[in-house]
Amino acid sequence: MYCYRPAGQELHFPGLFPELEAFTCPGVAPGPAAPTVPAPRALTSRTQGWVAGELRDVEAWSASTGVQLKVSGVGDFHVTPQGIQCLGGTADRPLTGLERETILGPALVLALAFHETWCLHASAVLFNGQVTAFLGESGQGKSTLAAHLSEAGWRLVADDILPVARDQAGVQAWPHFPQLKLTVQPGVSLAEQLPLSRICVLAQAEVPEIRRLSSGEALQALLRHTAGTRLFDPPLLAKHMAFCAWAAAQTPVFSLAYPRRWESLPKVKELLENPC
């Protein structure tokens, strides 16, 4: 087992992951294989999700030490607060590409959730010491907007997934996380955690505009745009709900609407730099 520190949490993985190399736990040598996995007790979730390149059936089964994740066409995984174990075969066999994508996808999201670190479907940028996150479904322009801003002097923080957690100072973003669509990881040269200053939910409109959301609208946006929630059991869902309610009251959440055209992006940048 190999130890990495994504999103500020020391987790063990069943092999070397180049995507996590920059977040290796200092001074921790590879350890022995994980102990015997307890038998699953009850089915807590059955859903479909986009995993390892296609829509797959996914089941979550409760176990005494964590959750067993069963992904059709890929395999079974044991996920605990300590890390992720790939089930089936010998402990020293090489992982398949599909297994690696699943481990860095839903399995990692679930392992972080055990530490109450929640992964938003978001891109994020840093400007004047403040982090702005952009929430949205796939295809709504999160990555395009973040890339445009990073080319215009802002700093890219996340491309697709942004881990966040509660802190005494407010909501904290954790940029040390593998952005699987990028070859160069933006979080490597950033601090391990950064205050999250605002959240923008992307929408479409004929004219760029930004509008502060009500607390109820903000709560719904956070709930809707958190990755992996369909795999959470009731206690984890309750913790997630409590975090989202608290975060919606702590951090300004806006609707950012604009036409999906390249020529509108400079105006969007201007709105973000001068929201008044």
How many Å apart are CA 14 and CA 94, to the nearest integer? 9
User: 117-273 adopts what CATH topology?
Assistant: Rossmann fold (3.40.50)
Q: 81-129: per-residue pLDDT in tens?
A: 999 999 876 566 789 999 999 999 999 999 999 999 999 999 999 999 9
Q: What is the pTM of this model?
A: 0.93
Could you tell me where in the chain the CATH 3.40.50 domains are found? Answer: 117-273
Give the model's pLDDT for residue 43.
94
How many Å apart are CA 85 and CA 144, to the nearest integer? 34
Q: What angle do helix axes 265-273 and 142-151 make, rounded to 10 degrees?
A: 70
Where are the alpha helices (H) located in the chain, listed in sequence order?
97-102, 108-113, 142-151, 215-224, 234-250, 265-273
First to last CA, the chain: 51
pLDDT confidence bin for 40, thresholds 50/70/90: confident
Q: 172-222: per-residue pLDDT in tens?
A: 999 999 998 888 889 899 999 999 999 999 999 999 999 999 999 999 999
How many Å apart are CA 158 and CA 156, to the nearest integer? 6
pLDDT confidence bin for 132, thresholds 50/70/90: very high
How many Å apart are CA 63 and CA 196, to the nearest integer? 34
